[in-house]
């Protein structure tokens, strides 16, 4: 994690600063005309350039099937960057500087020829560079079905050799999710990749780890004496992790039919949020130390068993409804979706972590498309104090005080809120038998506190690869554990299709079953 921690330097030696420039390198962006590259990646490269974070010896070689020369590619990239939501102000002069460093090679990524062309183009791009500046990032922004031939060709062509840790020039490979679609395919993918590259060369992107508040989870705990001591089962009643989206499948019906919410969001993004919240603090703020602790937390998750299935896992699908007053179709009516599909677009589940810190504390996780609001957050609900205010002052019978809740807001409006109880001004305590207590919020927002716009996740992560900081990337064992945790649930669901798939209207907070799921532990889902 690229952080500078000023306090206690002996405990946490600083990692490279976020503002450090990337090393000299060429990024070979495979799948450069694809959706992700055009919508996000090229824009993030531009942002890095505009912020002077790219080396003077940076170049980008786009590779894809379309035949194009450099000039046409630059035009395509220009359109993509100027239309990219994540670009902070498109500036013609800055663009011209970057444009001169963009190149293209066209060909079928599953065939050998294109790799010869890539080799030739890299030779041209790298002319005049010192050997130590001939670093390469191969960014695989490609669909899963071409992944295997690409990895094989990259390795067999000699373009991306396996290297030792400190070797210069370095070769790094960025891999996009999905990292398989089950434990079996996830293991096979790890084997394929690690059969050709060393783990330190592989950067598996989970873009949630590039989000500012997600990075803040650890710092927040480590840096704040008022929170770290209470971060455990003695003080915390439950942890709710929500990733709610208002969008539907957005023309990705085909992909989503084979994926569903668990593979798309829970196996990766949500389990990463859970691991960061539950892990022990690492002894060093360094990639492997952080990842070791995440792995230990994931390993401590109680394995899910089919016998308890009905109790702790809920799946559902969105039906037609309204998002911001606009009528939207149900999932089964989306293009490329099977009309009788049982693919879940919403899931809620309870995880228990069987270790000394968390025994007995439910981690309640949910994610869904077409929900009422776009919001991702980690909400820590604290236990009530031993001192029972309700019994001492005449609160209306049954009206319990609200628990304290600490909310780490990942998006939107990234920040932290602490909810606590305060006396409503008015009646004097000693004189009246009844007082009114209300929950109030103490709020921190990144935008207000630091002014600056936050870097998009992909920008943060790209720079980390150029610097060689793997903290915010998933290691192979984390991917494997993600599948070990979710595979039994998926396998059970797939073997037992529901007689009738539970649904929720688009624009709601999910199906009633999700509420029932946690109600029996005495909890309620938040409606942020
Ligand atoms: C992606 C999923 O990984 O994350 C998408 O494939 C989802 O289905 C997206 O919409 C959500 O990301 P964000 O950053 O918008 O929360």
pLDDT of 73 over the 70 cut: yes
What pLDDT score does 310 carry?
59
Our answer on whether the CB atom of 264 is closer than 6 Å to any ligand 1 atom is: yes
Greatest distance between any 2 Cα atoms in the chain: 87
Q: What is the CA(6)–ligand 1 centre distance, in A?
A: 34
How many angstroms separate the Cα of 106 from the Cα of each of 36, 110, 174, 364? 18, 12, 20, 47
Mean pLDDT of 172-176: 95
Our answer on whether the CB atom of 464 is closer than 6 Å to any ligand 1 atom is: no
Chain mean pLDDT for the chain? 90
What is the number of the ligand 1 atom nearest to the C-alpha of 243? 16
Determine if the peptide bond prior to 204 is cis (ω within 30°): no
Mutate to test the pocket of ligand 1, among 36, 176, 206, 207 (most ligand atoms within 8 A of CB): 207
What pLDDT score does 10 carry?
33
Indicate the pLDDT class of residue 508, thresholds 50, 70 and 90: very high
What pLDDT score does 430 carry?
56
pLDDT of 434 over the 70 cut: no
Q: What is the CA(325)–ligand 1 centre distance, in A?
A: 23
DSSP state letter for 200:
G
The pTM of the full predicted model, rounded to 2 decimals, is 0.92
What is the number of the ligand 1 atom nearest to the C-alpha of 376? 16
Per-residue pLDDT reduced to its tens digit, 442-452: 999 988 888 76
Distance CA 475, CA 479 (A): 7
SS (H, E, C) 30-90: ECCCCHHHHHHHHHHHHHHHHCCCCCCCEEEEEEECCCCCHHHHHHHHHHHHHHCCCCCCC
Closest residue (by CA) to atom 9 of ligand 1? 265
Indicate the pLDDT class of residue 422, thresholds 50, 70 and 90: confident
Distance CA 147, CA 158 (A): 17
Indicate the pLDDT class of residue 427, thresholds 50, 70 and 90: low
Determine if the peptide bond prior to 201 is cis (ω within 30°): no
What is the number of the ligand 1 atom nearest to the C-alpha of 268? 3
Per-position DSSP letters for 448-469, written without gaps between them: HHH-SPPPPHHHHHHHHHHHT-
Distance CA 147, CA 138 (A): 12
Percent of the chain residues past pLDDT 90, beyond the cut: 76
pLDDT of 391 over the 90 cut: no
Evaluate the CA torsion angle 204, 206, 211, 216 in order and state its sign: negative
Closest residue (by CA) to atom 13 of ligand 1? 208
Query: Which helix (DSSP H) or strand (DSSP E) does residue 25 occupy?
Result: strand 25-30
What is the number of the ligand 1 atom nearest to the C-alpha of 211? 14
Our answer on whether the CB atom of 64 is closer than 6 Å to any ligand 1 atom is: no
Mean pLDDT of 194-223: 92
Per-residue pLDDT reduced to its tens digit, 450-481: 876 778 899 999 999 999 999 999 999 999 99
Annotated catalytic residue 269? yes
Task: Give me the residue spans of the domains in the chain.
Answer: 26-169, 210-519
What pLDDT score does 209 carry?
93
Our answer on whether the CB atom of 245 is closer than 6 Å to any ligand 1 atom is: yes
Per-residue pLDDT reduced to its tens digit, 102-131: 999 999 999 999 999 999 999 999 999 999
Mean pLDDT of 344-358: 97
Per-residue pLDDT reduced to its tens digit, 369-390: 999 999 999 999 999 887 767 6
How many angstroms separate the Cα of 226 from the Cα of each of 3, 32, 240, 472? 21, 47, 20, 26
Per-residue pLDDT reduced to its tens digit, 400-416: 678 999 999 998 988 99
User: CATH: 1.10.287.70, 3.90.1720.10, 3.30.360.10, 2.60.120.10. Which one for 210-519?
Assistant: 3.30.360.10
Phi, psi (rounded to 5 degrees) for 389 = -55, -40
Which residue among the candidates 49, 207, 269, 492 is catalytic per the annotation? 269
Q: What is the CA(366)–ligand 1 centre distance, in A?
A: 14
The more confident residue out of 490 and 286 is 490
Q: Is 128 left (phi over 0), alpha (psi -120 to 50) or beta?
A: left
CATH number of 26-169: 3.40.50.720
What pLDDT score does 7 carry?
36
């Amino acid at each position: 994690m690229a952080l500078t921690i000023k306090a206690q330097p002996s405990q946490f030696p600083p990692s490279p600063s976020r503002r450090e420039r990337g090393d000299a390198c060429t990024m070979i962006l495979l799948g450069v005309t694809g959706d992700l590259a055009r919508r996000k990646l090229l824009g993030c490269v531009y942002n890095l350039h505009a912020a002077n974070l790219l080396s003077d010896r940076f170049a980008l070689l786009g590779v894809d099937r379309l035949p194009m020369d450099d000039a046409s590619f630059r035009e395509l990239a220009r359109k993509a960057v100027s239309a990219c939501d994540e670009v902070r102000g498109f500036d013609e002069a800055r663009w011209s500087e970057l444009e001169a460093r963009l190149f293209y090679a066209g060909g079928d990524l599953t065939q050998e020829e294109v790799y010869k062309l890539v080799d030739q183009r890299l030779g041209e791009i790298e002319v005049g560079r010192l050997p130590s500046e001939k670093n390469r990032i191969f960014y695989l922004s490609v669909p899963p079905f071409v992944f295997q031939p690409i990895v094989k060709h990259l390795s067999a062509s000699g373009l991306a050799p396996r290297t030792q840790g400190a070797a210069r020039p370095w070769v790094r490979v960025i891999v996009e999710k999905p990292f398989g679609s089950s434990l079996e395919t996830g293991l096979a993918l790890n084997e394929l990749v690690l059969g050709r590259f060393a783990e330190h060369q592989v950067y598996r992107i989970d873009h949630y780890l590039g989000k500012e508040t997600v990075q803040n989870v650890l710092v927040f705990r480590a840096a704040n004496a008022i929170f770290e001591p209470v971060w455990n089962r003695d003080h915390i009643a439950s942890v709710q992790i929500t990733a709610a989206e208002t969008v539907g499948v957005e023309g990705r019906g085909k992909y989503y039919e084979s994926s569903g919410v668990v593979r798309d969001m829970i196996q990766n993004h949500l389990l990463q949020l859970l691991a960061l919240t539950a892990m022990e603090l690492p002894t060093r703020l360094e990639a492997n130390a952080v990842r070791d602790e995440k792995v230990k937390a994931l390993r401590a998750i109680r394995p899910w068993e089919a016998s308890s299935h009905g109790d702790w896992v809920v799946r559902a699908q969105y039906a037609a409804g309204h998002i911001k007053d606009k009528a939207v179709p149900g999932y089964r009516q989306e293009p490329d979706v099977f009309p009788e599909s049982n693919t879940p677009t919403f899931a809620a589940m309870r995880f228990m972590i069987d270790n000394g810190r968390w025994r007995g504390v439910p981690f309640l996780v949910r994610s869904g498309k077409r929900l009422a609001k776009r919001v991702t957050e980690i909400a820590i609900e604290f236990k009530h104090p031993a001192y029972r205010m309700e019994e001492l002052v005449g609160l209306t019978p049954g009206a319990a005080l609200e628990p304290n809740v600490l909310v780490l807001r990942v998006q939107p409006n990234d920040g932290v809120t602490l909810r606590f109880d305060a006396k409503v001004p008015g009646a004097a305590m000693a004189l009246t038998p009844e007082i009114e207590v209300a929950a109030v919020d103490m709020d921190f927002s990144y935008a207000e506190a630091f002014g600056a716009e936050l870097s998009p996740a992909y920008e943060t992560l790209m720079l980390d690869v150029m610097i060689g900081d793997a903290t915010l990337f998933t290691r192979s064992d984390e991917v494997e554990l993600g599948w070990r945790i979710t595979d039994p649930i998926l396998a059970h669901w797939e073997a037992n299709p529901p007689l009738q798939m539970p649904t929720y209207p688009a624009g709601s907070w999910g199906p009633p079953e999700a509420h029932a799921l946690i109600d029996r532990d005495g909890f309620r889902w938040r409606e942020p």
